Structure 1
């Protein structure tokens, strides 16, 4: 069965959870496109890393939200 709900969670530099907006995505691709467009704003809100979840199961993370050098 394919996941039906993809979500992101966020952490600050100390690994503490940073509140997200609760946006859900229908596919992994949609979630990944969104984070690629939204990471600047997330950084401004104190997020350093993101984790991708599919129906409550962690897919990957931490994904750094810092710009590449």
Structure 2
């Protein structure tokens, strides 16, 4: 039996729908995996991505993240940007 495709409210957004994401890095520039929502957030625009990192940078640092790099799909927009003063 074929079921219709799930409505957008019930399926995860695709990378094309939320192309903006942060790569989390340690002090050596190596990618850091962060568990939970902090490690899997994706955004529909650059402004939302930047606002989010501004709100959670202390939590990311507590998880061992030293810097972040912003991407739009596979294109590096800027970074690495330190999370430390």
- Paired position in structure 2 for 1:47: 65
Identify unmatched segments of 5+ residues in structure 1.
none
User: Which of these two proteins has the greater Rg computed from alpha carbons?
Assistant: 2
Residue 9 (structure 1) aligned with residue 23 (structure 2): yes
- Paired position in structure 2 for 1:30: 48
More strand by share: 1
Identify unmatched segments of 5+ residues in structure 2.
1-16
**TM-score, L = length of structure 1:** 0.86
Deviations 1:22-69 (A, max 9, x none): 2110000000000000100000011111000001110000111013xx
Larger relative contact order, structure 1 or 2 (CA cutoff 8 Å, min sep 6): 1
- Paired position in structure 2 for 1:18: 32
RMSD between aligned alpha carbons?
1.4
Runs of 4+ residues deviating >4 angstroms: none
**TM-score, L = length of structure 2:** 0.71
Number of equivalences: 65
